[in-house]
Structures are given as C-alpha cells and as structure tokens.
Amino acid sequence: MRSFLSKLTTIDENDLTIKEKKIVDFIRSHLKEIVDTNMKIERMAQEAGTGYSAIYGLLKKLNIKGFRDFAISLANDVENQKINVAKNDENVVQGYINIIKQNYALIEKKDIFQTLTVLKNSSRAFICYWENLLSGPAQELSNFLYKNNLDTFLLDSDQDTLNQRTASSRENDVFIFFTRYGNSSRLDKFITDIGIMNRKIIYISGKIASPNIVQYLSSIHTLIVDNPDESIYKGHISNSVPFNYLNDLLIYHYMNSDS
C-alpha cells in the first residue's frame, strides 16, 4: 500500500521549495476532499496557489512516478485514516501494524535480494550503527551473520575506529550502515572514502540517501521511521521497529533462499 504521507517522512521538508511546502500543506488540509472529488492537477495547482511544476517537483523528490501514482497514494492515506480502534492497547498494536505495512509497501524485493547477494559474496562485514538508538538492530544482524559463518565487526560512529577499519579493509569486505537520520556530513565522507576504495556498502536509513553518496552504495534501504499519520495513531513507536523489521526480512530470505 503506497502512501504519500509515508513517503513525505523520508525526506527533510527543509529541502522543499516554498511552493512545494504550500502543496504539502494543502494536501494535508484537504486530503479527503482531493480523493473524494478525484481532484485533477489543474484544480489542485489553482487552489493551492502554485503551478504544475511545484507538484511535479514534489513528486520527483518523493520518487512518485506520475500523477496517477500520486492519486493512488492519496487514496491509500484516506483509507488509512478510516481505521478507528477503540482500546488504547489496540491503538498501539495498530500503530505497529501501520508502520510495518508502510515499510512493507516501500521495501522493494529486488533491493532485498541485492543486499543478500552482497552479503553472500563478502568475506567480512563491518556493521556500523551511526546513532546509539540503532545499536540493537545492528547487534542483531551482526550476531546472525556471525552464526552463519561471516566474520563480523560491530562499530559505532567513533571516527578513529572507522578510519582504522577502513584502512585495513579488503576487497571482499562489506560495510553496513544503520542511520536513523541520514543527515551527517561526516557519515557521507566515510561512505565516499570507502566507496573510492571500491568496497561494498549497504545503506539502511530513515531518510533518502544524499545524492552525493548514491554512486558508492551497493544496496539502499530507505525506511519509514516517523509516524506517517497521527490521525491513526498519536502515540510513540520505537525508532528501531522498522530496522528490526528489515532485519527480519533479510534474515528470513537469507535462510530460505538458494546460496
């Protein structure tokens, strides 16, 4: 199930133009009306006070392919808003289900299998959690790969350690980066340095990867971490949930696919 609101959480809204922000505000305020009336792009641009280019510029930044897919994503958001659960405990469950469903829709199978191919052709894995809140998912993946005969090294964002590991890395090594925010120039520099050395890099982030590093990434997984729609669930969901979900997908396919 594709979702406009979910896609919106994968970018920094400060990167949007003034007109693109106006479109976003208009959609949030008039979501049901847009879907119920099957609002066309001409009317949307007119009522939001922007031109067509702002709408298509926004869609491009969100990797939404055309106005038809855009309309479908908005319809899915309206459907999500219809969910109404009475009990608090069930609200938490629904919040978890919703965030997992959104990531299920976002994660491409080809990206999963690309990551598996990289892992199975690597001799060592350096697994780095850039923020401490992702130490759990990083440790989990490290333990699994180690049990399956891949030498693993768990790292945090310590600069000296990363420099040492980068310098001592070999041709068949892979670096796996877990990052919640994906907005660190220091992280981008490490990835660039590693990429120039032709090492494999798997990038797992709560934000779309910077264009400056995409060329160096062997596999990319962009996850929805922020609550995409507070009309469904207004509580807190642990930031690690989507990363644990991706781990479980990778582990499942690792165990159940041909070598």
Whether 70 and 138 map to the same domain: the answer is: no
Distance CA 49, CA 63 (A): 23
Q: Which residues contact 176 (CB under 8 A, 6 or more apart)?
A: 125, 126, 127, 128, 138, 141, 201, 202, 204
Whole-angstrom Cα Rg for the chain? 20
The predicted pLDDT at position 84 comes to: 45
Which CATH number do you get for residue 202? 3.40.50.10490
Residue 91 in any domain: the answer is: no
Residue 100 in any domain: the answer is: no
Which CATH number do you get for residue 43? 1.10.10.10
Pairing of strands 124-129, 151-155: parallel
Stretch (H or E) spanning 144: helix 135-147
Q: Is pLDDT above 60 for 192?
A: yes
Residue 247 one-letter amino acid? N
Q: Which residues contact 90 (CB under 8 A, 6 or more apart)?
A: none
Question: Which pair of tokens denotes residue 105?
Answer: 């829709």
Whether 71 and 192 map to the same domain: the answer is: no
Whether 61 and 181 map to the same domain: the answer is: no
Distance CA 154, CA 102 (A): 29
Distance CA 173, CA 120 (A): 11
Residue 96 in any domain: the answer is: no
Whether 72 and 163 map to the same domain: the answer is: no
Residue 94 in any domain: the answer is: no
Local confidence band at 86 (pLDDT 50, 70, 90 cut-offs): very low
- Arithmetic mean of pLDDT over the chain: 89
Q: Among residues 206, 174, 170, 208, which one has the least CA distance to residue 191?
A: 174
Residue 136: exposure state from Cβ atoms within 10 A (0-12, 13-18, ≥19): middle
Pairing of strands 200-205, 124-129: unpaired
Whether 52 and 128 map to the same domain: the answer is: no
Whether 53 and 166 map to the same domain: the answer is: no
Whether 118 and 245 map to the same domain: the answer is: yes
Q: Is pLDDT above 70 for 49?
A: yes
Whether 238 and 126 map to the same domain: the answer is: yes
Whether 114 and 156 map to the same domain: the answer is: yes
Q: Quick count: other Cβ atoms within 10 Å of Cβ 30?
A: 16
Local confidence band at 179 (pLDDT 50, 70, 90 cut-offs): very high
Once rounded to an integer, what is the mean pLDDT over residues 244-250?
96
Whether 120 and 246 map to the same domain: the answer is: yes
Once rounded to an integer, what is the mean pLDDT over residues 155-159?
93
Whether 112 and 232 map to the same domain: the answer is: yes
Residue 53 in any domain: the answer is: yes
- Percent helix, strand, coil in the chain, to 5, is 60, 10, 30
- Boundaries of domain holding 63: 4-82
The predicted pLDDT at position 85 comes to: 40
Whether 131 and 221 map to the same domain: the answer is: yes
Q: How many domains does the chain have?
A: 2
Once rounded to an integer, what is the mean pLDDT over residues 86-102?
77
Which pairs with CB-CB distance under 8 Å and at least 24 residues apart come from 42-51? 48/22, 48/23, 49/22, 50/19, 50/20, 50/22, 50/23, 51/19
